[in-house]
Each structure stands twice: as C-alpha cells, then as structure tokens.
Structure 1
C-alpha cells in the first residue's frame, strides 16, 4: 500500500511539473492558440489577445475563420489542411485580421496533437506578428528604390522598369520614349529662396509630372533637379509615336513652366526636355538615357524652356568629339602639335613680331584648326597642358631669335586661355619659363580675353600687375566683342588692344562696324595704349585703319600663318 502511494505521488508530481512547464511555455511572447479537433478555439495566451485585440470571452469557442483576412484563396487552405492531415504540421506566412479589421501579416506554425491511437485531439497554432518586420523591409525597399523627397522611383528602379519596357517593346514591336527633364537655373533659384522652398518646388514638379502622364508610364527623379519620364507603348508606328510623345512633352513643358508658390512668394521655373525614342531592339537603356541627355543639352543651348528630340547627327558629332578628345590627349607626346607664326607689322609695314597660332597635324585627320580642337581642350582641361607647351615653345623660339640681329627685336604674342590664367601659379610658371630659356621678358606678349575677368576682377588685376612686373606686355584680344570692355578698360594694366577681326571685315561695308573700330582706336589713344587690328585682308581695310591712326596690323594682306622655317624665309 505504501508503494502504491509513493508511485501515485511521483506521477502527480510529474504531472504538476509538466503543467507548470506548459503554463510557462504557453505564456511566450508569440501568440498561441489551441483548438479542439473540430477547430473551435479552446485556449489562447495573452500575446494572442494583445495581437488580435480580442478578449478571452470574445474568442473562446469561436472558429479561427472569424480572423480570416480573405486574402487567401481556397487552394491555399486546401494545401494547409492536406499537410496538417498527412504530416501533422504546417508553417508559412499568412494574413490575419485583428478585431478592428486591420489586416496584418504573420508567420504561423500549426501542429496537430494526436492521442496514443493517432487520432487528432487538438491543433496548436503559434503566430509571430510580422507587421514591424514588413514595415522595416518596406522602408529599406523605399530607400533603395525611391527618392526620399519626392517619393518617385529613383534611378535604380527606373532602369529596372526601363529594361522590362525595352523587352516588351521588342515583343510587341512598339515604340516608346525616354524624356530627360532638367529644371532651368534651379540652383540659382534654390540658393535665392532657400532649400525649403526649393524642396517644395521639386515635390510639386513630381506631382505635376505624374499628372501629365498615364498610370502605366514611369516618372523618376535621377537627382538634384533632374527627372526622367518613361513613355511605354506610344504606338507601333515610329512617326505616330514621335508625334504623341511630342504632345506629352509639350504638356509637361507647359505644366512645369506655370508659377509655383512658397511662403507667399511666386516662383518661376521652366524645363529643358530631351527626348529619345526607342523601339526595343537596337539600343540599351544606358544609350537611350544618354541620348535623351544630349537632346536635353541641345534644348538648353536653344534657349531653355523648350524640347529637343535626339538626332543621330547629334550622336555623330558627340562621337567625333569624344574621338578627338582621346586623340588630343596624346597629341603633345606624339609631337602632333605645331606652332605657326603670323606676322604683325607697323604702319610702315615693318615686322614687329608675330602671333603664335597652334595647329594640330593629325596623322589621319590631317590639319585640324584651333576653332575645332581648342573648345575640346577647354572642356576637358587639356588646355592647361597645351597652354604650357605653347608658352614654353614660344619662349624657346624667342631665345633662338635673340641670337640673330634680324629677329632679336621681334615680339611673340601668345594666347592665354582663361583656365590657364586662373591657375594659382600661372605667374610663377611664366617667370620660370622665361628664366629657363633666358628670354628678354619684353619680347613676350600675352594675349588675354575678357573672359579672364569674369570670375574675380580684383584677383585678375593683381595677377596682371605681377606679369607686368616680370616685364611681360599684355594685350586684350578680341576687344569689342565682350560686354565689359569699356567699364574695365581704365583699371587693367594693358599695353595693347587687339580689334576683333569680325569688325575689321565689315568696316568698308557696315557703318556701325566702321564707327565701332574708330571708337576703339580713339579709346586706345586716349588711354595711351597701342592698338592692333587683326584679320586685315584688303587694301581698303588697311586704308581705313591707317586713316584712323591704327598703329599695327595682322592678317592675310601681310601673310598667313606659317611654320617657323617658312616664316623666317619671308623675313629675309
């Protein structure tokens, strides 16, 4: 009898311990629901009540269907029950519904509990609420694929959508377009009215863009004030697609040009729009976007607030530009650059010197003139290396001339670009080159354009005085074509004004050109400056210039630009 009591006590203790463990496990942070074999809820824990919003008396005895989200179809539940009945276990993501009607995601594990005869007695479901995780994932996705300010797709998502659109255009044999939109002078507006208003304007631009296109089209922000629109399936005819896209582009241009308002201020902005059509089978996404960008810059060059379609001719020009820039980078090392010399004479037609003019003799392209390659050099900063090379070789030539009586008093005029002049050690470079070649500084004349003064007038004047202190003379090239000439003239330590050849060409035909040239000569005389006319080609032009006391001349009438050996032969 004592043995029986002892065994009974042990069993009771084990049962109590099991119940305590079950109670602790039941009050986990995960939601737990227990149903009977028929699926009626018989027990839930506090986490379940917190997650669903129900109280115990509201949910006990009910079927879990009362919390159905109705987001899953019949086949979903059929598969769930198949696994529960055959395997005894199911897990996966499922949507539930809280008491307040809110639909939320959760991860569920449902286990079928069986007795010793393998009959299902209960089902135990453990739920983990995924709402917060899904929100975090959505935020991360938004950061990765959407612009934080405008909520538009960013470049990454746009490229993904565009790639899919290209494939679709190929299958459907249809045409679409990419429109690159840049807000004109936005940086100035942003700096003037403040970044808060600037941001509000960008948000409004995004809203207007969405309103101008179809639901199926994509509007994205590439960055700063640059947006892009993808128009899909415009037409299966290229001309018709071009017409339709043009209408959309004009609708966008008109919408974005309307006034904006911020803090009681009316803000005005306008777009420059570049358009590139695509057919889905011959261009990549990057190529089409690049073409739209080139067209957009064409719109900028055309005066802004306008639309330009990409033109293959434009592409050829860009490709040629890139090819020439590549070749120009090697031109100095491969000795393709050459100095030509155009004579300058006084009123008695006696040589006073020459202007150094750069020529590029390419092994395939042949002679490339400065008006072709200098702008490329300016854009790419190659002008700094080229300018140094020109200055160095000009001084080397002056050193050679100094050895001969016939040439030792000649001056050389060397053009200096605004970028070259702007480098901090430009004056030191000039001094070093003069010293290295032992050149009389008075023989070197630097020709500057008015663009050197546009950034910092005071610093420019200081640098010019430093050059004058070296003994170098300074000439203002193309005088008369800039807006600032007269106002700055008295402040600049110049030795000479050079009248632009465009005015010289018209002095015998255009009264206004003649009057302007006469005025420039009078100004130079009043400021005690030397004056030289470039581009003199006819005796009639020379006669006019001499009559009005022009002091020096340069042009085809006296000689074209020549290589050094031919130039020196002409001097003999």
Structure 2
C-alpha cells in the first residue's frame, strides 16, 4: 500500500513536474512568444519601414525612371535636332561648295565669253527692240563701224538695199518662232561697199520665254565666196565665153524636162554651128577665132528670152534651150523658128574683129520635146543631126529633126508671108451672119472675116486668125474690120430698114490689151459718125483670164458711150461668175457645140438651160449660135432663149446678100402673137 501510495505520489509528483515542465515550457514559450511577438512586431515594423522605404525608393525610382525617360527623350530629341542641324550644315556646306564651283564655272564661262566676244567673228548684241547695245572689235573691222557709230542704232544700219522687205520679214519671223536664223546675206560697209557675209542671229529669252536680247554673229565670206564662184566657173562654165558648159547645160535640160512633164508646155533645143569657122582660125589665127566666139556669145544672149539658156559645148558649137513654149506642137515649132530666125539675123550681121570685118553665118538644128519622152542625150543627138542637115543644105538655115514638122513649119512661114501681103493688098472680105429674134425678125448680124487668097481661094478665119494672133498681125486686121463695120453701120443709119440693126465684131485679146484700145474705138466711131449703140463687141472667155481689172475698166469706158458687149462661146472656157456680174455685158452667147446635139444629148440640154438661167438672173440677153433645125430653135425658145444665129436662118454672106435677106424678111408679115 505504501508502495502504492508512493507510486501514486510519485505519479502525482511526476505529473506536477510534467505540468510544471509544461508550464515552464509554456512560460518559456510565452516568453519566447512575447519576445518573438516583440521581435515580430519589431520585424513587422522594420518590414513596414523597409516596405515604406521600398515604396519610397520605388516612387523615387519611378520618378528617377520618369526623369531618366524624359532625359532620354530629350536626349533623343536633341540627338535628332543635332542630326537635322548636322544635315542642314552638311547641305549648306554642299551648297556652298556647289555655288563655289558654279561661281568658278561662271567666271570661267564669263572669261570664255569675253574671249569669244572678241573673236574673229563680228558680234553684235541688241535689246528686244533691236537697239544695238554692244559690238566687238571684229564687227568694227568687218563693217567699218566703231562701237560709238553702232551703239544706239539698229541693224538696219548695215542694210545693203539688195534684199526686199519680204526677205527681212521672213528672216525675223523665223527668229521669233524658232529662236534662230542663219544664212548668207549682202551687207553694206560704212564706206558703201557691199559684201557677202554669213549671218547668224539668235534670240535670247528669259525664264518666262520672253525675248530680252538678240545676238548676231557675222563672218565676211567675200574671199570664200569668190573662191567658190571660181571653182563653180571652172566646173560648170566655159572659160572663154563664160557660158554654161555641157555639164551644167545637161543639168538644166533635165530640170526643163521635169518642169515640162508637169506643165505640159513644150520646149526645144537649138544646136548651132558656125559656118566656115575652121577657115577663120586657119587664116587669121585662133586669137581672132576666140574673139569671134565672144562676140557670137554676146549676140546670142541678146537674142534670147530671159528664161532661155545658151551654152558652149566646145569649138564653135553652141546649144540653146528654149522653155515654156506652146502646148501645141505646131505653135511650139513656130515659136522655135521665130527665135532661131532672130538668132540667125543677129549672127548674120558683120563682125569687127580688130582690123578685120568678118561675115559669118550659123547652121541651126532644132528638135522639140515634152516631158521625159526622150533623154537629154537623145534630144541633143536629134538637134545635132538636124544641124548637120542644115549644113548639108549649104548652111545659114534652120532644119527640124522631125521632117513632118519641118514641112509644117515651111507651110506656116509661107502662110505668114502671104498674110503680110494680104494686108497690104486688102485681100480680106467681110461676111455677115444674120441674128434674129423668136419671130425670125432681124436683130443684126455677126461679122466674120474671110481671106480671099488669089491662088488658094477663100481661106477660113480659123486657119489664119491664130497665126495673125501669134505674129502680131491681128492688130492691123482688127482695125481694118472695125473701120469697115463702122462705115457699114453709118450707111445703115440712113435707111429705116436697117437703122436699128446691130453688128457684132469679134475682138481679140491682143486688141483689147492695147493701152489705147478705148481711144482707137472711139476715134473710129467718130471718124465714120457711127452710132455707138449699133456696135457690139464680142469677147471670148479666154480674154478674161488675164488682167481682168484693166479689161473691166476698158469695157465700162466703152459701154458708157453706148457700145454693147457679148460674151462669145460661153460655157467653153473658165469664166468666173464673180467676174461675170462685174462685166458690163449685154448678152451671153451659147456656143454651137452645145446647140448641135441639144435634141438628143441630155448634158447639152442641161448646160444650155443653165446658161439661159444665168443670163436671166444677171438680166442679160442670151443668143444661141449654130441653130440649124426647127427642133433646136423650139427647144431654145421653150427654155427662154429668144435670139438665134445659124444656118436655119442664113449662112454667113457678103453684105449685098445680107441686105437682100433683110428686105425679104421685111416683106413677110409677123406671125399672130395670140
């Protein structure tokens, strides 16, 4: 039991001890806890402080970072500004270097320009108004005008008077449109000498394209021009006579062939050889022969038209090129013969060769051409052959290569000589073809001339009037017709049967173009005391092609005294309606070529109707010629043409037969007009 109690006591003591130990532990733990709590509090406080410091530092760091960011931004901004400043500085340095280089170039160019301005070429600078501002020394050397002479003047100071206004107008037009003109020009020096120069004028413009100055450079080309001319003479001209040589002549002949192709006008070649020239050389020497060739050259040149060309092929052979001849072969041949005859007459005159009087004649061969039917060499060969035919006939004559042409020319020359005799011997006779109205009552007659040849009989005017026109004999023939007609009208004025009749006379272009034509007509009327109102002058449309103003003036002057005018062959030529209404015409005449087939040809009917309409609109009479049938007359009458002429009424007859017709018509009662 005691052991139990002891054990129990021990257990209680053990539990007290364990409790105390636990309490001690708890106390220790509490103390430690307190300490720990204190420490924890201190630690928390420290931590709070540290956190506060950390937040402070964080805030400070944020501020510092923000400041740093701002500083970095500022730094970048300053760096960018610095980069821009450096770039601007670099650009300015580059520009400065560029300006330095440009200034150096400009100074160099200015130096070069100064050197150029004082070059061997004459230079002149003007303002936009062409007032001279400056010239160089070369200008003074070339022209003779000093700077004081030229400055303030205009370039007209140098005008030679050798160029017309159109030349300068064209020159300045090109300068102002393209900025440049250059070419050869004749200029006058201060001493009055005219010389050739090569001129170049440049227009200087500002940024707006406005001309501010003109710069002219000029080079005296007198020497080079003379050398060039000398070279050309040696290459293309005969040194003795200065005429074109064979080479240049062939070139001109080819040009003539080309022009003839387009114009259809014929041309001709004359091949001349001096008869007995070798004998002259052998007897009097080559010096005398050369002198003859020079004198022949002078006479040949004086005998030709301005458009003709004469060349020397060598020795005593000359070749002449005739251009712009008639489009008709016979007429062209006649023109060629006339010129050849003029040449022959000139060369047949005596020559004074130093102490010798010498007679010489030419043998001439001729050939005609049109276009490129033959080459230049072939034509020369033909003319050469014809020339030898001329020599074979004894010389001093003309022969054509074409034998048929030769015969035609001979016949024409014969007719020409006979026509001259016809005028002297008054072999002409007038025929009259009556003109009537719609009632077949006489209005008058057209006067037609006929040649009463003593051997050939009656020759129609269409065979000799064109020849008379060509050789100028139409003037005396025309005047004879006018004198005869005025005398006849004076006789008719005394007879009541014929006092109101009108006679129509054809007038040629050469008559009308005479300066005193109006005065001649008036004088003829006065000479025969003829009433001008009974005279009608018939003109053809071809007359109206040239100098229309002069023609209108003459027609008006004659119309003012009462003379009437009719336009013959209307519709076959080239009348301008504008001129037609300006002419003092009384009548249009419908050509017989339109009347002939009027019953069957619709085109002729349309043309006739148009002519009648035109005459009516211009308040003119209209008359139809060549009326041969009643069908023709009735058609014309229906369309409004009330005057007629033709074989239906009478063929052309002598004056006595016409007067017999007039008496017969006067006894026929007029038809009822109802």
Which residue is 1:222 aligned to?
Answer: 320
Q: Confirm or deny that 1:419 pairs with 2:510.
A: yes
Structure 2 CA distance, aligned partners of 1:272 and 1:545? 56
Paired with 2:511 and 2:470, the residues of 1 have a C-alpha distance of: 12
Structure 2 distance, partners of 1:530, 1:444, is 16
Instruction: Provide the rounded CA distance (Å) in 2 between the counterparts of 1:364 and 1:274.
Output: 36
- Find 1:549's aligned residue among 626, 640, 649: 640
- CA gap 1:157/1:565 in 2 versus in 1, 3 angstroms: closer
Q: How far is the alpha carbon of 1:450 from its aligned partner? A: 1.7
CA distance in 2, matches of 1:353, 1:498: 14
Distance 1:327 1:144, change over 3 A: farther
2:658 corresponds to 1:567: yes
For residues 412-470 of structure 1, the C-alpha deviation after alignment (integer angstroms, 9 at most, x for no partner) is: 00000010011011111111111111111110000011222222111111111001111
The reply to whether residue 438 of structure 1 matches residue 529 of structure 2 is yes
- Which of 140, 144, 147 lines up with 2:243 in the alignment? 147
Instruction: Using CA pairs under 8 Å that are at least 6 residues apart, name the structure with larger relative contact order, 1 or 2.
Output: 1
In 1, Cα distance between the equivalents of 2:574 and 2:380? 27
Partner of 1:389: 480
Q: Does 1:492 align with 2:615?
A: no
Counterpart for residue 320 of structure 1: 411
Residue matched to 2:618: 527
Question: Superposed, which structure 2 residues align to 1:168-567 within 5 Å?
Answer: 221-222=319-320, 252=375, 277=385, 282-283=392-393, 287=397, 290-292=399-401, 310=402, 312-567=403-658
Asked whether the equivalents of residues 511 and 517 of structure 2 are also in contact (C-alpha less than 8 Å), the reply is: yes
Cα distance in 1 for partners of 2:510, 2:425 equals 24
Question: What do residues 94-143 of structure 1 show as CA deviations (whole Å, max 9, x unaligned)?
Answer: xxxxxxxxxxxxxxxxxxxxxxxxxxxxxxxxxxxxxxxxxxxx99x955
**CA-to-partner distance for each residue in 1:529-571, whole Å, 9 max, x for gaps?**
0000011111111111111110200001100111111111111
Equivalent residues of 1:344, 1:552 under 8 A apart:
yes
Aligned partners of 1:485, 1:276: CA distance in 2, in Å?
47
Preserved CA contact (<8 Å) 1:413 1:447: yes
With over 3 angstroms needed to count, the CA separation of the structure-2 counterparts of 1:494 and 1:225, relative to structure 1, is: closer
Please list every run of 5 or more consecutive structure 1 residues that lacks an aligned counterpart in the other structure.
Answer: 1-137, 165-194, 211-215, 229-245, 257-270, 293-309
CA shift digits 1:140-165 (9 cap, x unpaired): x955556246667999995159999x
CA distance in 2, matches of 1:504, 1:156: 45
Structure 2 partner of 1:171: none
Structure 1 residues 158 and 462, CA gap change in structure 2 (3 angstroms): closer
**Secondary structure of 1:458's aligned partner:** helix
Q: Distance in 2 between matches of 1:284 and 1:220?
A: 19
CA shift at 1:500, angstroms?
0.9
SS in 1 for 2:433: strand
Aligned to 2:273: 159
Give the Cα separation in 2 of the matches to 1:375 and 1:273. Answer: 32
User: Post-superposition, which runs of at least 4 consecutive aligned residues in structure 1 deviate over 3 A?
Assistant: 141-146, 148-158, 160-164, 216-221, 223-226, 271-288
Give the drift of 1:527: 0.6
CA distance in 1, matches of 2:245, 2:383: 25
Alignment correspondent of 1:65: none
Cα distance change of structure 1 residues 448 and 162 upon mapping to structure 2, 3 Å threshold: farther
TM-score normalized with structure 1 length: 0.53
Q: 2:537·2:563 contact (CA, 8 Å) conserved in 1?
A: yes
CA distance in 2, matches of 1:504, 1:530: 17
Return the alpha-carbon distance in structure 2 between the equivalents of residues 274 and 412 of structure 1.
51
How far, CA to CA, are the matches of 1:146 and 1:161 in structure 2? 22
> Unpaired runs of 5+ in structure 2?
1-233, 251-268, 279-305, 325-335, 337-368, 664-674
Between the two proteins, the alignment pairs up a number of residues equal to 337
DSSP-derived class of the 2:375 partner: helix
3-state DSSP class of the match of 1:562? coil
1:145 and 1:153 in contact (8 A); partners too: no
Q: What SS class does the counterpart of residue 482 from structure 1 fall into? A: coil
Does the 8 Å contact 1:146/1:157 carry over to 2? no
Contact 2:275 2:395 (C-alpha < 8 Å) held by counterparts: no
Tell me, in whole angstroms, the C-alpha distance in 2 between the residues paired with 1:462 and 1:533.
27
Which protein has the bigger helix share?
Answer: 2
Greater share of strand residues, 1 or 2? 1
Q: How far apart are 1:285 and its partner, in Å?
A: 5.6
CA contact 1:341–1:355 (8 Å) conserved in 2: yes
Instruction: Report SS of the residue matched to 1:413.
Output: strand
Judged with a 3 Å threshold, the aligned counterparts in structure 2 of structure 1 residues 351 and 325 are, in CA distance, closer, same or farther, namely same
Q: RMSD between aligned alpha carbons? A: 4.0
- In 2: Cα distance, 1:482 partner to 1:321 partner: 27
CA distance in 2: counterparts of 1:373 and 1:525, whole angstroms: 36
Local SS of the residue matching 1:506: coil
Shift of 1:521: 0.5
Give the SS at the match of 2:596.
helix
CA shift at 1:507, angstroms?
1.2
Which secondary structure state, in structure 2, belongs to the residue aligned with residue 481 of structure 1? coil
What is the DSSP-based 3-state SS (H/G/I as helix, E as strand, rest coil) of the residue aligned with 1:525? helix
**1:159-197, Cα deviation, whole Å (9 max, x unpaired):** 159999xxxxxxxxxxxxxxxxxxxxxxxxxxxxxx9xx
